[in-house]
């Protein structure tokens, strides 16, 4: 039987105390997913991200970006100009992560109709 310490060392997302759990939460958070997706196309500034990601609040966008930056998935470059100009882009690590996220969303966008069409599909 594998010990908890071993599972954490392995990066097991099923272990609550494993750091991978937190990173997974950031990446797959409601806005984290969309931020990664949008940054995958190109660098965006804060306000551009906000406009692109329909429904996100300034507060949540800022928080999400900070978390992803803390996980070394997103790079933040602030230009010391007036008015301020801050560019967000993916790190190499972030591009790998975002690629996986994009696979998921691509699959979803293609298959939404199968889900909505199914008789199990009840809204919630």
Given a contact cutoff of 8 angstroms between Cβ atoms, the answer to whether 77 and 87 are in contact is: yes
Binding residue (CB under 7 A) for DNA from 22, 37, 60, 102: 60
Q: How far is CA 35 from CA 12, 41, 77, 115, in A?
A: 25, 10, 16, 24
C-alpha pair distances (Å), 21 with each of 12, 66, 95, 96: 8, 17, 19, 18
34 contacts DNA (rule: CB under 7 A): no
123 binds, among DNA, a second copy, none (CB under 5 to 8 A by kind): a second copy
Half-sphere CA count of 120, side-chain side, radius 13 A:
3
CB of 123 to a second copy, least distance (A): 7
Determine if 43 is a binding residue for DNA (CB under 7 A).
no
Cα–Cα distances in Å, from 45 out to 65, 81, 102, 122? 11, 14, 20, 37
Q: Does 96 participate in binding DNA (rule CB under 7 A)?
A: no
31, 34, 68, 74: which one binds DNA (CB under 7 A): 31
Residue 2 or 54 having the CB closest to DNA: 54
Q: Which residues bind DNA (CB under 7 A)?
A: 29-31, 45-48, 55-60, 62-63, 65-66, 76, 78, 80, 82-86, 88
């Amino acid at each position: 039987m594998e010990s908890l310490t071993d599972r954490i060392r392995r990066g097991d997302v099923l272990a609550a105390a494993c750091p991978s759990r937190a990173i997974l939460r950031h990446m797959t958070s409601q806005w984290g997913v969309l931020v990664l997706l949008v940054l995958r196309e190109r660098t965006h500034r804060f306000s551009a991200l906000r406009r692109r990601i329909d429904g996100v609040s300034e507060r949540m966008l800022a928080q999400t970006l900070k978390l992803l930056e803390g996980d070394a998935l997103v790079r933040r470059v602030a230009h010391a100009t007036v008015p301020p100009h801050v560019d967000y882009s993916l790190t190499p690590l972030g591009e790998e992560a975002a690629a996986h996220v994009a696979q998921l969303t691509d699959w979803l966008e293609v298959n939404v109709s199968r889900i909505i069409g199914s008789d199990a599909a009840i809204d919630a």
